[in-house]
Amino acid sequence: MDGETRISGIFSLKATIKVGFGTTKRAALSETYWFVKELEGDRFRVQSLDMDFKPQGEPFEISRKKLFEDYHLEPDLSYRLLSQPLLVGDHYRATAKHANAEREYLKVKGIDEENIRANFGLGLVYLAVDKKDKAVYIFDRLVGMEEAFEPRHKHLFNEFGINLRKKGLFDEALKYYFRARDLSKDDDHLLLNIARVYYEQKRLPEAEAAAREALAINPDLAEARRLLARIWDGPPREAPLPGL
């Protein structure tokens, strides 16, 4: 997983244009706004924004050289339209004001459809209010985004996976964890989470195998030992494991 932060934000493009006709013709400064997101291979996707900062037209790609020669980052706009709604949405989600949180996250997705934090936030909101169909839709988006499994999103990734399991979306949780494991082979906590899902499904041999694999990577992982003890003690309880 690549933890390097990529460029993402609102940029302006300033150009001199000719307005008027004949003797009234004069030069004027034109300023347009664009949402820019860094891609692989030193390329950037550029999306035009209208006067209400909604995406318009088809996005296109430019080089890093072109970006820094012609476009200018607008940090105030990037904060007001992208970062601030994420912070407010996180606050509302933490205080169980789910409708307010959804509104803030959707503001961000209105500009940046693939924003990882906004997608995680929405997924967590939908799980909290039992809108499982919407949560699964968000899950399908996230599981295809490699960026979602980068270390800087680890706390959101963990919270989302736990809530998938607690809501009984076991198949989705397993797909989610195995997707993460494709990108991080030696993560003992991922294996532990896989073991927990198998335990909730009453698939005890698979749960034991995953817990043992986690312990092979980290022999001091106490949670894996406790889970093995539950497996050996008998069939799993119907209620989710407390505190996990």
What residues contact residue 241 under an 8 Å CB cut-off, 6+ apart? 196, 199, 200, 227, 230
- 103: domain CATH number is 1.25.40
Q: Are residues 205 and 238 in the same domain?
A: yes
Query: What is the distance, to the nearest Å, from the Cα of residue 110 to the centroid of all Cα atoms in its chain?
Result: 15
Out of 166, 197, 231, a domain closes at: 166
Is residue 157 one of the residues assigned to a domain? Answer: yes
- Residue 133 in any domain: the answer is yes
pLDDT-derived band of residue 244, with 50, 70 and 90 as boundaries? Answer: very low
104 assigned to some structural domain: yes
Residue 41, pLDDT above cutoff 70:
yes
> Is residue 175 domain-resident?
no
Chain segment 70-121, per-residue pLDDT in tens: 999 999 999 999 999 999 999 999 999 999 999 999 999 999 999 999 999 9
Same domain, residue pair 79 and 162: yes
Beta bridge partners of 26: 19
Conformation bin of residue 138: beta by default, left when phi > 0, alpha when psi is -120 to 50: alpha
- Is 197 among the domain residues? yes
Please write the tens of the pLDDT for every residue from 135-175: 999 999 999 898 898 888 888 988 999 999 999 999 999 99
Which residues is 55 bridged to in the sheet? 49
150 and 209 in one domain? no
Q: Decide if 177 is inside a domain.
A: no
pLDDT band at 26 (very low <50, low <70, confident <90, very high): low
- What sign results for the dihedral spanned by CA atoms 146, 151, 157, 162? positive
Question: Which two structure tokens, joined as six digits, stand for 200?
Answer: 């909730």
What is the per-residue pLDDT for 93? 97
Are 118 and 97 found together in one domain?
yes
63 shares its domain with 110? no
Pair 54, 112 in one domain? no
Q: What is the rounded CA–CA span in Å between residue 59 and residue 36? A: 9
Taking residues 7-35, what's their average pLDDT?
Answer: 79
- Let me know the angle formed at the C-alpha of 87 by 85 and 91, rounded to the nearest 5 degrees: 110
pLDDT tens track for 109-132: 999 999 999 999 999 999 999 999
Crossing angle (nearest 10°) for helices 188-200 and 222-233: 20
| Residues 85 and 53 both lie in one domain | no
Which of 47, 73, 99 is the endpoint of a domain?
A: 73
Q: What DSSP state is assigned to residue 54? A: -
Tens digits of residue pLDDT in 48-66: 999 999 999 999 999 999 9
Q: Both tokens of residue 163?
A: 């809530």
Q: How far is CA 66 from the centre of its chain?
A: 28
Q: What amino acid occupies position 214?
A: A
Q: Which domain holds residue 230?
A: 185-244
Task: Let me know if residue 212 belongs to a domain.
Answer: yes
Give the pTM: 0.84
Q: 12: helix, coil or strand?
A: strand
User: What pLDDT does residue 224 have?
Assistant: 95
Same domain? 48 vs 28: yes
Same domain? For 38 and 114 the reply is no
Distance CA 163, CA 147 (A): 20
Q: Going by C-beta distance under 8 Å and a sequence separation of 6 or more, which residues neighbour residue 124?
A: 93, 156, 159, 160, 163
Domain presence at residue 102: yes
If asked whether residues 90 and 158 sit together in one domain, one would say: yes
25 and 85 housed in the same domain = no
Task: Give the total number of structural domains in the chain.
Answer: 3
Same domain, 99 and 159: yes
